[in-house]
Amino acid sequence: MDTLTDDLCYQALKTRDARFDGRFYTAVLTTGIFCRPICPAVTPKRGNVRFYPSAETAMANGFRPCLRCRPEAAPGSPAAAGVHTTVARAVRLVSEGALDNGSVANLAERLGITDRYLRQLYKRHTGATPQQHAQARRLLRARQLIVDSNLSMTEIAEIAGFSSLRRFNHTLKQAYGNAPTAFRRGLKSSLKATQHSAENPFLPAHDDLVLFLRARPPFDSEQLLAFFRARAIPGLEAVGAHHYARSLCIAGQPGLVICRPSDHPPGVQVILRGPARQSILEVSARIRRLLDLDADLPGISEHLARDPLMEPLVTQHPGLRVPGSWERFEFSVRAILGQQVSISAARTLAGRLVARYGQPLPDDLARGTGITHRFPEPAALVGQPLNTLGMPGSRADTLARITARFAEPGFAEQDGNDLLAQLASMRGIGPWTLQYLALRGLGDPDAFPASDLGILKAASHLGGPQDAKALTRHAERWRPWRAYAAQYLWTSLNAHPPRQETTP
C-alpha cells in the first residue's frame, strides 16, 4: 500500500471508483469478508475496514473473499509493483506457480538472495509470506476456474495444485464457506455456452477448455486486434475480425489458443485446445500480459492528456492498450527481424523462420486455422544457416548471437534489466531494439523508442518534435507511461500510414 493511503482507499470505496479495481481490497472486520472497491454492497463504516494490496494478503490475514464481487476475478495487480524490484519479481514468480512444486529456498536461489531475506522482504512489502501468497493464489484461481471455465472439478483441483479432490473440496469449503459445486450452481458464468463448429475453427468446440479473463475498462478490443493483425506471422498466428489465435508449446505440450476479446463485458474469452490445456494458468497469465488486460487506463489517460500533444489521441482512443509479447525469445527474434524494414517484410522473414525451423502443429489442432507450426526453440536455431532467410548477413549474425544466448540455461528468466544489459553489449543490438524489447518484450510501461521512424513521423504530424533528441526531452512529461504514449503515436499513423515502419 505504498502508493495508496487508507483515506484515499476509503474515498475510492465510497464512490466505487473502477480505476482502483485490483489495486486494493477492503476487509470488513465485522463480517470477516473482503471485497473489491467496486463491490455493490453497502459501504461499511470507516472504523470497520482494513485495506490490503492484494487478495492473497487479505486471505492470509484471515478474511474470506466476497461471493458477490468475486475478488478472484479482479484484474491482476502485482502486490509489490514499484516498491522493490526483487519483491515484484518474487510476487510474479509465485503467482506463476514457483511454489507449486518448489520451495521458498529454490525461489530465493533464483532471485539471488537468501530465503530468510526473501521472507522478510515479502512480509514487509506484501503483508504475507510467500507460502501464504501461494496458498491464497491457489484458492483464488480455483474459484475463478470453477465460475469462469468449463473444466470439471477434478481437472480444476489438479490444475490449481491440490493433491486430491477431497483436499480440494475441504480447502475451498473452509476458505469460502461453501462446497465448490455451489459456486457453479449459484453464480452465473461470464462464458458463452460452448458450441461445436466445424465451419469456424475459431469458435469453442466440444473438447476445448474455455475461460473468460476480465480486463480493466475501458477496453479497446478493435485496436488490439488491428495491431496483431498487421503483425501476424504466417503459420504461427491467425487474426480475424473477432479473434487472435496462435500455436504454443508449454512444458513440452503443444496447443492452440484462441483469444476472442469483447468490450461488453470488457475482457477476453480464451479457448485452449490440445494437451497444453493443463497449463491454463500459465497460458492465462501470458494472455493477460500479451493483451495488457491489467493496465489502469483511466489513470494513465488522465496523466497523458495533460499534454496538448497527446490529449486528442487519448480522447479518440480511451481504451488503447500496449500489446505485449507471448515469450521473451520469440519477441527478441521478431524485434531483430524488424530492424530497419517494414512490418510486412518482418512478417515475411518471421514466416520463413517458423516454416523452416518450427515444429509442426498436430493436424487435429491445425485443421482449418492456417496455423501450421510452433515458434522454434532457441536450441533449434543454434548453428542453422540463418543468412539463407533473406536478410542481410549482419542481421543474420546478430540473430545467431542472440539465439545462442537464449539457448543458455536461465538466460531468459533473469531480471529484465539484467537481460537488457547483457543484450546491450552484443553487436547489432542498438538503442531502438533495446527500447522496443523493453516496451513489448518485457512490458516496461516507461520504455520509449524515441528514434523509431513511425513515432517521429506521428509526432511531426501532430506538430510536435521532429528529431529523437527533442522528442526524448518532450517525452519526460509522459513518465512513467511513455510506452503508452508511444502506442498512441503509432496508432495515430493509421490515418496517414508511413511508407516504412520499424515496429514488428
CA distance 504 to 350: 10
Q: Is 451 exposed, middle or buried (0-12, 13-18, 19+ CB in 10 A)?
A: middle
Among 119-123, 356-360, 396-400, where is mean pLDDT lowest? 119-123
CATH 1.10.340.30 location in the chain: 328-492
C-alpha separations of 250 from 142, 171, 255, 274 in Å: 20, 28, 8, 11
Reading across the β-sheet that carries 25-28, which strands appear in turn?
A: 49-52, 25-28, 33-35, 64-65
pLDDT of residue 500: 41
- Find the DSSP H helices in 76-161: 85-95, 104-111, 115-126, 130-148, 153-159
pLDDT of residue 197: 53
Q: What SS3 state is found at 492?
A: helix
For 392-441, write each residue's pLDDT tens digit: 999 999 999 999 999 999 898 887 888 999 999 999 999 999 999 999 99
Residue 8, pLDDT above cutoff 80: yes
Do residues 28 and 52 touch, judged by C-beta distance below 8 A?
A: no
- Find the DSSP H helices in 309-451: 311-316, 328-337, 343-357, 363-366, 378-381, 393-406, 416-424, 431-436
pLDDT of residue 357: 97
CA distance 175 to 80: 24
- Catalytic choice (35, 39, 69, 249): 35
Among 20-29, 171-180, 420-429, where is mean pLDDT lowest? 171-180
For 27-62, write each residue's pLDDT tens digit: 999 999 999 999 989 999 999 999 998 888 899 889
DSSP string for 144-193: HHHHHB---HHHHHHHTT-S-HHHHHHHHHHHHSS-HHHHHHHS--SSPP
User: Element (H or E) spanning 225, and its range?
Assistant: helix 221-231
Tell me the one-letter amino acid at 441. Answer: G
- pTM: predicted TM-score of the whole model, two decimal places: 0.80
- Mean pLDDT of all residues in 341-364: 95
CA 269 to chain CA centroid, nearest Å: 14
Q: What number of residues does the chain have?
A: 504
Q: How many CA atoms are closer than 13 Å to the CA of 309, on its beta-carbon side?
A: 20
CATH 3.40.10.10 location in the chain: 6-131
DSSP E strand boundaries for 205-364: 209-214, 237-239, 244-250, 253-263, 266-273
- Mean pLDDT of all residues in 177-198: 60
35 flagged as catalytic: yes
For 199-245, write each residue's pLDDT tens digit: 789 999 888 999 999 888 899 999 999 999 999 999 999 999 999 99
pLDDT of residue 74: 81
For 300-335, write each residue's pLDDT tens digit: 899 999 999 999 999 999 999 999 999 999 999 999
CA distance 236 to 229: 12
- 429: cell is 543490438
CA distance 200 to 368: 8
Q: What percent of the chain has pLDDT over 70?
A: 93
CB atoms within 10 A of CB 234: 17
For 238-281, write each residue's pLDDT tens digit: 999 999 999 999 989 999 999 999 888 889 999 999 999 888 88
Does the bond joining 218 to the residue before it have cis omega, within 30 degrees of 0? Answer: yes
Q: What SS3 state is found at 414?
A: coil
Closest CA to 273 of 242, 238, 247: 247
Residue 120, pLDDT above cutoff 90: no
Q: Which residues are CB-neighbours of 340 under 8 A, at least 6 positions away?
A: 502
CATH fold of 6-131 reads DNA Methylphosphotriester Repair Domain (3.40.10)
452 flagged as catalytic: yes
C-alpha separations of 93 from 104, 124, 282, 398, 447 in Å: 11, 18, 11, 30, 22
pLDDT of residue 349: 96
- Mean pLDDT of all residues in 176-180: 82
Residue found by looking up cell 530468510 in the block = 116
Do residues 16 and 37 touch, judged by C-beta distance below 8 A?
A: yes
pLDDT of residue 414: 81
CATH number of 328-492: 1.10.340.30
pLDDT of residue 418: 86
